[in-house]
Chain A
Amino acid sequence: MPVSGKTYRRIRNIVLAWLTLVALAGFLLDIPRINILEHTARNLYFHVPMWFTMMAAFFVSAWRSGQYLRSRDPLRDTQALEAARVGAAFGVLGLATGVVWARFTWYVGQGIWWNFDPKQTMAAVQLLIYGAYFTLRSSVEEPEKRGRIAAVYNLFAAACVPFLLYALPRQMESLHPGAEGNPAFSDITHPTMRVVFYAAVVGFIGLFWVFYTQRVRLAILKERIEDAFRT
């Protein structure tokens, strides 16, 4: 086990308590009412951390893939796969919270759900890459070969994706804060909101850690049970 049961349970309890406090603060604390945004501004605490968490998961997955290629330890492959799975789930949640938020603020009165905003597009591309990664894994039977091929794809994707950060903003206009002509995030955000927001980022990355560690531990236990039955 990479993480002992005791440590896992302790960190899990801390994360759950932390996120409860974040949710309470997020919904109960008073926030400045900005025109159009109004109370939807509270979505900042949930939508943006999803995006941060997906990127963190993506880095963990690529890092584990690199470790797998060097060591050929099956544990590393399991870790890369589980990080990608949990990251994809956070990516779907981030996209969903973003699409609904945009529908009732940016595109209110226009009736559209999706407009090619660079950050939204990048999240969609990232999800497509996760999808390709899972499809590739399902097409190889042999575990060693599957781990190797999937790790190569994962690392190659990690090398290609950063170009989106450079290419996309030059092709598309953005309504996100910090884009050209829009005020930066820190200029428009109330100090209270900023504190809750940073706490939420830490909390959701912690939640990623909990799910990720839980799934890796589960995969190891399953493997052990199968081995026990085989012998």
Chain B
Amino acid sequence: MKEPFARWFAGAWAVFEKDLRLELRNRHAAGMLLMFVPASILLIFFAAGQEPLSPRIQAGLLWIVILFAASIGLGRSFVSEADRDTALFLRMHARASMVYAGKLLFNFLLILALDVVAVLTMMLLLHLQVAHGGLLASAILLGSLGLAGAATLLAALIAQAATRGPLLPVLLFPLLVPLLLSAATATRHALEGGDGWGASAESLTTLTAFAGVAITAATLLFDFIWND
């Protein structure tokens, strides 16, 4: 008999491993995101022209691209279970919180991969100059964690709705306004240079708190979506 926490962790890890293996097999989400992010940044490049963009605009655009790509890519994480009729099987073998944790971990890694692609493409095309690499990384890590926490719960929610196509952005964006504001501010400070860490301390606090509250609330509420 293993410890309860170790058993819980093993269950969550198994859900994560299953999603990762499926993803490596068909590369559906990764392929889509890999195309969506450069394509949208290329569109910005053409729309904005040759004018150099200010750090404020660059930070805003970076987060807009991340939010849109995530809301498109993550919508599938539970719909795919419903489509393949594997939701019931998963329900029998894992508790709700394990499923949520496993899916959250997978979505978080997916968003991180997306972030790296987005930042690299923006550096190449839009001349993104990073003054504080560590600050940019922290802003992106914390922002992506909160984003993954909220998007995973809402993805499970829309998997039960009848018309689930474009519903995730509608549900997700109003809730992510505080996250977007703080993440864009911290990113702007990371691009601008100067006293970046001091200036964005409040934003990073907000991002940490938002991620904590979103994941806690989602864990508590996930039971009600998953178990009926």
Contacts and interface: CB of A to CB of B under 8 A. Distances in A.
Interface of A: 69, 121, 125, 128-129, 131-132, 135-136, 139-141, 145, 148-149, 151-153, 155-157, 159-161, 163-164, 166-168, 170-171
Contacts of A121: 177
B33 to A, nearest CB: 24
Interface string B186-228: 0000000000000000110010011001100110010011001
B174 A149 contact: no
Contacts of B161: 136, 139-140, 149
B162 interface: yes
Interface string B153-178: 11001101111100100110111111
A159 B217 contact: yes
Contacts, number: 98
Contacts of B173: 128
B177 A125 contact: yes
Contacts of A155: 217, 221
B170 A132 contact: yes
Given A129-B175, A136-B161, A163-B213, A152 B224 contact: yes
B185 interface: yes
A166 B206 contact: yes
Interface in B130-165: 150, 153-154, 157-158, 160-164
B35 interface: no
8 contacts: A139-B158, A139-B164, A152-B225, A153-B157, A159-B213, A163-B213, A166-B178, A171-B185
A137 to B, nearest CB: 9
A145 to B, nearest CB: 6
B26 to A, nearest CB: 27
Contact of A159 (B171, B181, B214): B214
B89 to A, nearest CB: 20
Nearest to A171: B181
B182 interface: yes
The 4 closest A-B pairs by CB, nearest first: A163-B178, A128-B174, A159-B217, A167-B178
Given A140-B162, A156-B218, A167 B224 contact: no
Given A148-B224, A148-B228, A160-B214, A153 B171 contact: yes
Contacts of A128: 173-174
Contacts of A152: 153, 157, 221, 224-225
A170 B202 contact: yes
Contacts of A171: 181, 185
A159 B175 CA distance: 9
A157 B167 contact: no
Given A136-B167, A160-B210, 7 more contacts: A132-B170, A139-B158, A148-B225, A149-B160, A153-B171, A163-B178, A168-B181
B178 A160 contact: yes
Contacts of A159: 213-214, 217
A156 B217 contact: yes
B181 A136 contact: no
Contacts of A160: 150, 175-176, 178, 210, 213-214, 217
A195 B228 CA distance: 51
Nearest to B157: A149
Given A145-B160, A167-B206, A156 B153 contact: yes
Nearest to A165: B178
B228 A163 contact: no
A163 B221 contact: no
Nearest to B225: A152
**Candidate in B163, B209, B224 with the most chain A CB atoms within 10 angstroms:** B224
A17 to B, nearest CB: 38
B225 A156 contact: no
